[in-house]
Amino acid sequence: MTFGLRTKLSLAYAALALLLVGIISLFVNYFFKIQFNDYVIAQQKQSSQNIVNLVEKQYDASNDAWNVSAIENIGMSALDQGIILKVKDLNGKDVWDATVHNNGLCMQMLSQMAQYTQKYNPTLKGGYVQTGYDLTNDFQKIGQADVGYYGPYFYTSNDVSFLNRVNTILVIVGIASLALAFLLGAIMSRRLSRPISKAIEAASEISRGNFKQRIKEQSTTREIKQLTATVNDLADSLEKQQQLRKTMAADVSHELRTPLASLQSSLEAIIDGIWEPSRERLESCHEEILRINRLVGDLEKLERAEAENTMLNMTELNLSELAQHIVHNFETDFFKKSVKLNFVCDSVAVKADRDKISQVIINLLSNALKYTQKGGRVELQVRDNGRSAKLIVSDTGNGISQDDIPNIFERLYRADKSRNRVTGGSGLGLTITKAIIEAHKGSISVSSELDKGTAFTVSLPKSRG
C-alpha cells in the first residue's frame, strides 16, 4: 500500500506531536510528582507543628489544667486534614485521643488517605506513622502530643483533585497539540507537495513530448526550488534539442538536396542526349559529389568527437609551438586575402591530443579568415592563465548577432541564413570544435558584436608536469 506525500507528512507531524506530548507528560509527571511530594511533606510537617502550637495554647498554667473541649475541636479539625491527634499530660495520662473519641472515623480516614496515595503512587510502601512533639509552656514541658498519619506522606482529597486537574490539562494539551499538528501537517504538506505534484505533471507532459510545459509554482524550500528549476531547465533543453533536431533534419535535407538535384539534372541531361558528357560537365558533377562527401565526413567527425568512448591520444605538448606551426601554414591564405595575421603567445604546456587540438585551432583560424574582409585583422593569442591555458582567436570581421550566439555551437547551425556557399560550410566546424574541447575537460566561449568582430576563447587545463 502506498500513501501520498501529504498523508505521510500529516501523519508524521501528528506522530511527532503525540510523541513529544507523551515525553513531556512523562517528564512533567515525574518531576512534578517529586516536587509535589516534597511540597506535601513540607505542608504536613507545617500542619503538624501548627496543631501542636494550638494545643499548647489550651493549657491553663494557673490551674494546671487543659481545655479539653478546645483540644477536641482541634483534634477533629486535624482529623479532617488526615491527622490523628493524641494529647497526654506530663504524667502520661491521656488528655484527648482521637482514636478513643472516634476510632471508626480514624480508621476510615487512614483507609481513605492510603487509597488516595496508592492511586498515584502504587509502588509506595506506606503505613501508619506517628511522631511525638513535646508540649511546653514558658519553656517548661507540660505534656506530649502524638501526631499520626499515613506515611511517609499522604494525599488529601484536595491534593487528589489538584492532581486530577493537572492530568486533565495534560490530556487537553495533548489533544489540542495533536489537532494542531494535523492542521499544521496538512498546511505544510500541501505547500510541499503542491510544487512536487506540479513537477510530476510537468515531467509527465515532457515525457509525452510537450516540451513547452513549465512549472510556475514558487517555493521557499531550497530543494524543491532546485527540483522545479531542474525540470524547467530540462524542458528548455529538450525543447531546444527538439527544435535543433528539426533544424538539423531540414539543414541536412537542404545541404543534400541542392547537390543531388544538380547531379540528377546533369546526369538526366547527359542520358537524354541533351548534353555531351564533356570533361567540364563531369568535373561539375564530381564537385557536387565531393561536397556531399565533405558533409558526410563532417557528420562522421562530429559523431566521433561527441562519442562517450572517444579515445584521446594525450601527450605533453607546448601549445604555443603548436599554434605557431599552424600560423605558418596559414600565412599564405591570409596574404592572398590581404588580411593581417598577428600571433602573440606565452610558453604554456598542456596535456592534450595534438591532432585534435590542431583541428580546433585550424577551425577557428579558418572561420576568422572566412568572415574577415580584405584589409581586416585576425589575432591568435596563447596565454598562461594560472591553472589553465587560454587560446584566443579574435577578428575584425562581420561579427555575430546576439540572437545567433547561443546557437553557433549547434549542429548545422549557421548565422548566415542565406547559406551563401562562398562563406557557408557544413555548419559543423564549431560543433566539432566544442566537442573536442569538452573531451579535454576544457571550455570554449564566444563574444561578438555585429560589424566589429568576434573573439573565441578556449580554456584548457595546464599540464601538471
- 26 with 154, same domain? yes
Query: What confidence category does residue 380 fall into, taking pLDDT thresholds of 50, 70 and 90?
Result: very high
Beta pairing, strands 94-97 & 84-89: antiparallel
Question: In this structure, is residue 235 part of a structural domain?
Answer: yes
As a whole number of angstroms, the distance between CA 315 and CA 349 comes to 10
* Strand segments (E) across 67-210: 84-89, 94-97, 127-137, 140-151
pLDDT at 339: 94
Question: In this structure, is residue 369 part of a structural domain?
Answer: yes
Packed helices 354-370 and 319-337: angle between N→C axes, nearest 10 degrees = 30
- 228 with 161, same domain? no
Q: Which of 275, 306, 337 is the last residue of a domain?
A: 306
3-state secondary structure at position 16? helix
As a whole number of angstroms, the distance between CA 465 and CA 453 comes to 36
**Interval 303-318 mean pLDDT:** 70
**Interval 37-50 mean pLDDT:** 84
Query: Which CATH number does the domain housing residue 118 bear?
Result: 3.30.450
- 326 with 284, same domain? no
Question: In this structure, is residue 10 part of a structural domain?
Answer: no
3-state secondary structure at position 206? helix
- 258 with 318, same domain? no
Taking a C-beta distance cutoff of 8 angstroms, is the pair 414, 367 a contact? no
- 284 with 325, same domain? no
Query: Which CATH number does the domain housing residue 255 bear?
Result: 1.10.287.130
Query: What confidence category does residue 336 fall into, taking pLDDT thresholds of 50, 70 and 90?
Result: very high
Question: In this structure, is residue 226 part of a structural domain?
Answer: yes
Range of lowest pLDDT (137-151, 287-301, 359-373): 287-301
Query: Which CATH number does the domain housing residue 344 bear?
Result: 3.30.565.10
Count helices and strands in the chain by DSSP H and E runs: 10, 13
Q: Which of 257, 286, 306 is the last residue of a domain?
A: 306
- 160 with 28, same domain? yes
The three cell numbers of residue 342 are 598577428
Check whether 463 has a pLDDT greater than 60. yes
Query: What confidence category does residue 163 fall into, taking pLDDT thresholds of 50, 70 and 90?
Result: confident
Check whether 422 has a pLDDT greater than 50. no
Check whether 309 has a pLDDT greater than 70. no
In tens, the pLDDT along 84-95 reads 899 998 888 988
Question: In this structure, is residue 199 part of a structural domain?
Answer: no
For residue 356, give its domain range: 314-461
Residue (of 416, 414, 383, 403) closest to 448 by Cα position: 403
Length of the chain equals 465
Check whether 175 has a pLDDT greater than 70. yes
- 358 with 291, same domain? no
- 37 with 72, same domain? yes
Query: What confidence category does residue 303 fall into, taking pLDDT thresholds of 50, 70 and 90?
Result: low
As a whole number of angstroms, the distance between CA 370 and CA 380 comes to 15
Question: In this structure, is residue 70 part of a structural domain?
Answer: yes
DSSP lists the bridge partners of residue 384 as 389
Q: Which of 167, 189, 210 is the last residue of a domain?
A: 167
Query: What confidence category does residue 324 fall into, taking pLDDT thresholds of 50, 70 and 90?
Result: very high
Beta pairing, strands 140-151 & 127-137: antiparallel
- 433 with 337, same domain? yes
- 277 with 296, same domain? yes
pLDDT at 122: 74
- 274 with 346, same domain? no
In tens, the pLDDT along 190-226 reads 777 777 777 788 888 778 777 777 777 777 777 777 8
Question: In this structure, is residue 192 part of a structural domain?
Answer: no
- 42 with 155, same domain? yes
The percent of residues in the chain predicted with pLDDT above 90, rounded, is 21
**Residue 286: half-sphere exposure toward Cβ, Cα within 13 Å:** 7
Query: What confidence category does residue 307 fall into, taking pLDDT thresholds of 50, 70 and 90?
Result: low
- Helix (H) / strand (E) element for 121: namely none
Count of domains forming the chain: 3
Taking a C-beta distance cutoff of 8 angstroms, is the pair 380, 344 a contact? yes
